[in-house]
């Protein structure tokens, strides 16, 4: 499994994403100005402050040359994981439903959060037990997941809510405690907390984040046919 | 042509900045402050004002969560 990790000007978590991916496969950095994904089997859009978060988080990064290729890759069924700012970029790009708004507490908040795995049958969570609890750090100012009620009901019905904040851990005010959602086909996942920062008990507080990278590594490399839901998206 | 784009959080969406301002003003002695919403202002020169709506839809606003209002300046608005 070859991971490609995107680097935008202002990214800051690409190094940890590379290190996490390198624990389970090969990993290479992909520059935002390049359209070439260099044969990557899975793409990680990492955290940080791409293009300074100007205008809205992810609004400008979404039009970077590399994103044209990432969007085409995702439409063809390729695995794409967006973490924090990467989640914001994927929402802005229309690869994931909804938007991330300013935290309800109005503060940049950095803390360990507990997540509940709602779907353990996605390419990103297949090594987790259903209902498993993951302890992973979160650090952001704009992580309040928002979609209108109709969309939220549809996401729920189609099983696109992959991760939720455990009771008492939804510090940013995300609607329905949503921490991570996938697209309808199941090959694109975005989440606000940082699994790449939790791959080593010594420095991450837990190694629970590794499960996401292991799951991707164990996914057959032609993922288009194996998504969650109806797969019609 | 000088244009102004006013961007606001959609009605019904929690606006924590607006809430903070609403609480701060009475603390400074200003009474009678009701609902407060904080948005964004973009002023730009454009050759073709007909493109402004597309600019808003594609980049300047996120239509999912924000409303926008266009104003043409230079006296013609």
- Residues A52-81: pLDDT tens digits? 999 999 999 999 999 999 999 999 999 999
Catalytic: A196?
Answer: yes
How buried is residue A100: exposed, middle or buried, by Cβ count under 10 Å (0-12/13-18/19+)?
buried
Residue A84 is among the residues annotated as catalytic for this protein: yes
Domain count for chain B, please give it.
Answer: 1
- Digit-coded pLDDT (tens) for A164-219: 999 999 999 999 999 999 999 999 999 999 999 999 998 878 999 999 999 999 99
Please answer yes or no on whether A106 and B17 come within 8 Å at the CB atom.
Answer: yes
* Least Cα separation, residue A179 to chain B (angstroms): 18
Q: For residue B58, is it within any domain?
A: yes
Q: Is residue B39 part of a domain?
A: yes
Backbone angles phi, psi at B42, to 5 degrees: -120, 125
Distance CA A136, CA A112 (A): 6
Flag whether A233 is in a domain. Answer: no
B77 within a domain of the structure (yes/no)? no
Mean pLDDT for B59-75 is 93
Residue A89, both tokens:
């970029």
- Distance, CA of A14 to CA of B34 (rounded, Å): 44
* Total domain count, chain A: 1
CA gap A227, B15 in Å, rounded: 35
Q: How far is A131 from chain B (nearest CA, A)?
A: 30
pTM for this one?
A: 0.92
Chain B interface with A: residues with Cβ < 8 Å: 9, 13-14, 16-17, 19-20, 59-60, 62, 64-65
| CATH number of the domain enclosing B47 | 3.30.1280.10
Predicted local confidence at residue A203, as pLDDT: 85
Q: Is A91 a catalytic residue?
A: no
In a domain, A232, yes or no: no
How far are the Cα atoms of A100, A134, A206, B8, B51 from residue B64, in angstroms, in the given order? 11, 30, 36, 11, 20
3-state SS, residue B61: coil
CATH of the domain at A79: 3.40.50.880
Name the strands in the sheet holding A178-182, side by side, starting at the edge strand that comes first in the sequence: A26-31, A2-7, A42-45, A79-83, A188-191, A178-182, A161-165, A109-117, A133-140
Q: Are B62 and A92 a contacting pair at CB < 8 A?
A: yes
């Amino acid at each position: 499994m070859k991971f490609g990790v995107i680097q935008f000007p202002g990214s800051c978590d690409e190094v940890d994403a590379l290190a996490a991916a390198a624990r389970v496969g090969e990993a290479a950095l992909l520059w935002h100005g390049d359209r070439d994904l260099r044969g990557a089997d899975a793409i990680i859009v990492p955290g940080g402050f791409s293009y300074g978060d100007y205008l809205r988080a992810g609004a400008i990064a979404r039009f970077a040359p590399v994103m044209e290729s990432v969007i085409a890759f995702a439409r063809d069924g390729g695995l794409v994981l967006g973490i924090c700012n990467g989640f914001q970029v994927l929402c802005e790009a229309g690869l994931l439903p909804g938007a991330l708004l300013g935290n309800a507490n109005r503060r940049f908040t950095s803390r360990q959060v507990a997540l509940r795995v709602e779907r353990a049958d996605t390419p990103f969570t297949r090594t987790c037990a259903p209902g498993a609890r993951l302890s992973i750090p979160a650090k952001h100012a704009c992580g309040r997941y928002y979609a209108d009620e109709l969309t939220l009901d549809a996401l729920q019905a189609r099983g696109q809510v992959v991760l939720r904040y455990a009771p008492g851990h939804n510090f940013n005010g995300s609607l329905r405690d949503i921490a991570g959602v996938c697209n309808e086909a199941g090959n694109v996942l975005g989440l606000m907390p940082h699994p790449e920062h939790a791959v080593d008990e010594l420095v991450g507080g837990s190694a629970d984040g590794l499960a996401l990278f292991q799951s991707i590594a164990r996914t057959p490399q032609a993922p288009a046919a194996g998504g969650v839901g109806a797969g019609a998206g | 042509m000088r244009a102004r784009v006013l961007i606001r959080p959609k009605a019904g969406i929690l606006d924590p900045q607006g809430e903070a301002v609403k609480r701060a003003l009475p603390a400074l002695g200003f009474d009678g402050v009701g609902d407060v919403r904080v948005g964004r202002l973009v002023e730009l020169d454009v050759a073709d004002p007909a493109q402004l709506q597309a600019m808003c839809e594609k980049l300047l606003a996120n239509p999912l969560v924000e409303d926008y209002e266009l104003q043409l300046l230079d006296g013609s608005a």
